[in-house]
Amino acid sequence: MRVMQGARFAFGPFVLDPGAGTLLRDDVPVAAGHRGLQLLAALVARPGEILAKAELMDAAWPGTAVEEGNLTVQIAQLRKLLGPAANGGEWISTVPRVGYRFTGAIEQLGDAKRQALPLPAKPSIAVLPFANFSNDPEQEAFADGLTEDLITDLSRIGGLFVIARNSTFAYKGKAVDVREIARELGVRYLLEGSARRAAGRVRINAQLVDALSGEHLWADRFDRGLEDIFAVQDEVTAKIVEALLGRLRAPLPRNRPGNLEAYDLCVRARKLIDVSPETAREAHLMLTRAVALDPDYAEAYRWLAMNHWMGWVHWGDPIEPARGLALDLARKAVAIDPNDAGCHWVLANLLAYERRFDEADAEFAKAFELDPNDADAWATLSDITTLAGQVEEGLEQIRKAFRLNPYPASWYYLTLGQAQYAARDYEAAVETLRRDETYRTSSRRFLAASLAQLGRLDEARAEVAMFLIANPHFTTRHWVETEPFRDTATLEHFVDGFRKAGLPE
């Protein structure tokens, strides 16, 4: 289900802007989570209609298998947030065993366009999700994987500015003018295309558009055997680089999987990491199978390392052994493909948490040498830099990550809020951390600390209570022991905020 781009909806005292991800009550922002806003947008776009549970779950968790209980929780939170309607009833009614519908009167307002981002000094490009022209919906992951690989390949060209995957996939399935997309992402050029995979062959159409002039700079179609898919990716990348930079600047060769089933498994698995413990375990099975099929597939080892490090594969078990295993997997990934920037920054992050800071700094430096456009790497480095006491530098790094990824994953907001807290900009930290998705409860500790430093102790205590429901064994002491602090003053500042907020010592 897709809500029309730019549409805003007014009902009662509320104005919902799905594109901006905001909900206002009497012109005052309401702290609503990302999933809740997605559900509300789907409901208000079709007032009075019954929306099936499956349809709503697809709106809030696209491409992800989640339990129906998650939908029930989000609807309950929305009802609490909205309060009673003018007639004393509920804005959202339940249709037993079927779904939900929005019962209030809706007024659709004019477009509220997202502020245009300035163009970078270097040629800037976004790769839009390739359309799946196969009759098989299972090939959707193949088209997405092709898009992601092209983003990675272009990102490694130092002369280009390349928007991250998260942000371009925000437009997937939406009929939006290319000039509007380019304006919102702050790029001049867009690559768009389609892919069809069937009977052992792959057909790809691609075109490079100058969004300012509307001119098509390059277009081509490829009809090859499936085994040539990576050669096609290299050819498309080379053509784009030649068109934008005037000469071929080929990056260092990447490690490519030797087994297409392993490639498919990795593409599917990386969408499941960081969703829930259940999907993380499913990703673990896929990635384990991928490396069994192709023991020299560096990217699969890298994602395995990430999955172990986040701890959801070992939900409920001590985290330290998982991090040790993650470190081993990351080292293996780098050994297999020393030209993969992603492998280097994952290893760098793990080394920092092991407090092997010199090694971590070297790995981060290598990652940016190989790929200066990796937004996730900049956001990850910001966390490490902030805890090292270099707060202004950490803020600059997370801002760079946001520019490369204007529609980022929710953990970017956690990282920004943490840096703003470290900079003692508590008001900004509160604003940032209240935008974070509600399921990412770890941000609440920084929100509580920021509120406490502002003297808003009742609000801080409420955030602590919510945080401890999801993290009942948390102690400040253990958190300090596991975080990569390099600066005593920064450490003491965080501990002070946690103590004022009432987090367990």
393 CB neighbour count, 10 Å cutoff: 14
Closest CA to 43 of 99, 97, 85, 98: 99
Class of domain 8-109: mainly alpha
Chain centroid offset of residue 207 CA = 26
> Measuring CA to CA, how many Å separate 102 from each of 21, 97, 239?
19, 16, 49
- Superfamily grouping for domain 256-340: Tetratricopeptide repeat domain (1.25.40.10)
Report domain extents, the chain.
8-109, 124-245, 256-340, 411-505
411-505 classified as CATH 1.25.40? yes
Domains 124-245 and 411-505 share a fold: no
* Tally of CA atoms within 13 A in the half-sphere of 276 that contains its CB: 9
Residue 352 contacts residue 452 (beta carbons within 8 Å):
no
Residues of the chain above pLDDT 90, percent: 43
Per-residue pLDDT of the chain (505 residues; tens, 9 = 90+): 334 445 688 888 888 887 767 788 877 777 777 788 889 988 988 888 888 888 888 888 876 677 888 888 889 889 988 888 877 788 999 988 888 989 888 887 755 455 678 899 899 999 999 988 876 767 888 889 889 999 998 999 888 999 999 899 888 877 778 888 999 899 999 999 998 887 788 888 999 999 988 888 899 898 888 888 888 888 888 888 888 887 656 667 778 898 989 999 998 888 888 766 677 888 899 999 999 999 999 999 999 998 888 765 444 444 567 788 899 999 999 999 999 999 999 999 999 999 999 999 999 999 999 999 999 999 999 999 999 999 999 999 999 999 999 988 888 899 999 999 999 999 999 988 887 444 456 789 999 999 999 999 999 999 999 888 878 889 999 999 989 999 999 999 999 999 999 999 9
Q: What is this structure's pTM?
A: 0.76
- DSSP reduced 3-state for 225: strand
Q: Return the CATH number of the domain spanning residue range 124-245.
A: 3.40.50.10610
Alpha-helical segments (H) within 8-108: 34-44, 53-60, 68-82
